[in-house]
Amino acid sequence: MKEEGFPKSFIKRMTLRLDKEFPSFLESLSQESIISVRTNPQKPTNQFAQEEEIPWNEHGYFLNKRPEFVFDPLIHGGAYYVQESSSMLFAHAIDFSKDLKILDLCASPGGKSTLLLSKMSKNSVLFSNELVGKRAEILKENLLKWGNSNIVVTSNRSASYASFNAFFDIVLVDAPCSGEGMFRKNNRALQEWSENKAFVCSIGQKDILDEAIKLVRNNGLLIYSTCTYSEEENDQIVKWFYKKYKSIIQPITIQLKDEWGVVKENVLHFDEKNQEVYRCYPHKIRGEGMFIAAFKVSSRMQSDLPKQKRNSQLFKGLSNIDQKKVNVFVKPNKDFQIRQHLDRIYALPTRYLNEIGLAAYKLNIVLQGTYIGSFNKKSGDFIPSHDLAMSNLMKEDFPFVELELKDALHYLKKMETSINPNNLPLGWIIAKYKGCNLGFLKNNKSRLSNFYPKEWSIRKNLPNWELMKK
């Protein structure tokens, strides 16, 4: 790629930063972006077994070419997630052997949150936040498909989390940025870039970090990352942050292997402490641009949330009769409780009922635990939710039908399938593809009703062979 394809100010900045390496960097931007995916260890898929593994993530794979993901039912079932490989590196800063309370503060579309869910212990909890409402709905969808129930999704400004002061073991700030690291992958990022945008983003990043540090408990970890090369959003932010909070933060080193191609640098030359930051450049790593820094937060008062009676009362237990109806669908799990709020039934992590109750009062909740269904007001029958079908709490021996590709795509597009209802049991049935749950069907003797969410259905026209008449 020639320099003419980029803003002059960007070329000047990167030339100064990279010096002799700049031609190699510029050349890398002319190459196609690398496609990478990360599989869900809790759902069945071996379709990438022949692909090259990503060295820094045990569930990650580089793909030789970009498939038509929308026509793969497994991605709709949450069996894997398409994620840029560099953005998986941050997880090496975290010790997942412990039970953790984690906040992903700028989480949409959900790549880092799904990674965290894959590595967290069963007694951990993830709060995943996205300010912008439409992006929060995308985040919710991706996390529902992943299937974990030890999660809360919110849509709030960072300051709204004030009630959770010094509560989280890990706070991840993958900050909104100017997006220079995505130029090769996303042409829109290139078109929208300007030096002023980098400056404006840096102001917002400081505001977020000022709030984020309040939420980290004593000896907890704050991770800061961007997908840009800009010094205003990276180096200068780290220097500002350290100067402002040097009495309570300690820079930490992330254990990354040299052969991965990550550039390690010390940016705190003015201080005796070494703040190592980590940079990804596309001419050095098989991935896009990324910046990561991590801090240990100490010398703070330990803060556990007050146990408020109203928090636990927000979610009520079920009657024995109703519980038996739910148990037909939900496998026993002592780590979760089935609770009711208004007319909705949830599976909530037992260990964090108080925290989730407090969040419901203080935050704009988009998702809490797993919404598993509701009861028909007239008949009293339990109506399972699509969220339950996606959840790891769904009974594995529940009646199901294994779909071929054509019928699976028709199901996901809410079209008629070729399945004969006479060959299936009456009532609720799970639709599967290659062993992965796609959602619910209901056999009403004469026909199968499709309960896949309309808002999630495939919008693109199916391939011609899919539309051929039988």
d(CA 243, CA 270) in angstroms, rounded, equals: 10
Q: Where are the beta strands (DSSP E) in 377-447?
A: 382-384, 400-402, 427-433, 436-443
What is the per-residue pLDDT for 313? 64
The CA–CA distances, whole Å, from 70 to 356, 410, 456, 458, 459 equal 34, 12, 11, 7, 9
What structural domains does the chain harbor?
32-297 (3.40.50.150), 399-470 (3.10.450.720)
What is the per-residue pLDDT for 269? 57
234 backbone dihedrals φ, ψ, rounded to 5°: -120, -85
Contact 272, 165 (CB under 8 A): no
d(CA 317, CA 348) in angstroms, rounded, equals: 11
Cβ contacts of 210 within 8 Å, gap of 6 or more: none
d(CA 102, CA 432) in angstroms, rounded, equals: 32
Distance of CA 389 to the CA centre of its chain: 19
Task: Concatenate the DSSP letters of all residues of 309-336 into one string.
Answer: HHHHHTSEEPPHHHHHHHHTTBPP-TTE
What is the per-residue pLDDT for 352? 93
**Residue 140, token pair as written in the block:** 């919710």
Cβ contacts of 351 within 8 Å, gap of 6 or more: 123, 125, 335
List the one residue out of 95, 113, 94 whose CA is nearest residue 103: 113
d(CA 203, CA 349) in angstroms, rounded, equals: 37
Residues 317-344 as b or e (16 or more Cβ within 10 Å = b): ebeeebeebbeebbeeeeebbbbbeeee
Q: What is the pTM of this model?
A: 0.94
157 backbone dihedrals φ, ψ, rounded to 5°: -70, 155
Task: Please count the CA atoms within 13 angstroms of the CA of 429 that sit on its side-chain side.
Answer: 24
What is the per-residue pLDDT for 468? 43
Q: Tell me how crowded residue 465 is: count the other CB atoms within 10 A of its CB.
A: 8
Task: Please count the CA atoms within 13 angstroms of the CA of 191 that sit on its side-chain side.
Answer: 4
User: Along the 470 residues of the chain, how does pLDDT read in single tens digits?
Assistant: 567 688 899 999 999 999 999 999 999 999 999 999 999 999 988 889 999 999 999 999 999 988 899 999 999 999 999 999 999 999 999 999 999 999 999 999 999 999 999 999 999 999 999 999 999 999 999 999 999 999 999 999 999 999 999 999 999 999 999 999 999 888 888 888 988 999 999 999 999 999 999 999 999 999 999 999 999 999 999 999 999 999 999 889 999 999 999 999 888 755 555 668 999 999 999 999 999 999 999 966 666 666 665 555 678 889 999 999 999 999 999 999 999 988 999 999 999 998 998 898 899 999 999 999 999 999 999 999 999 999 999 999 999 999 999 999 999 999 988 999 998 999 999 999 999 999 999 999 888 999 999 999 999 998 875 444 44
What is the per-residue pLDDT for 2? 66
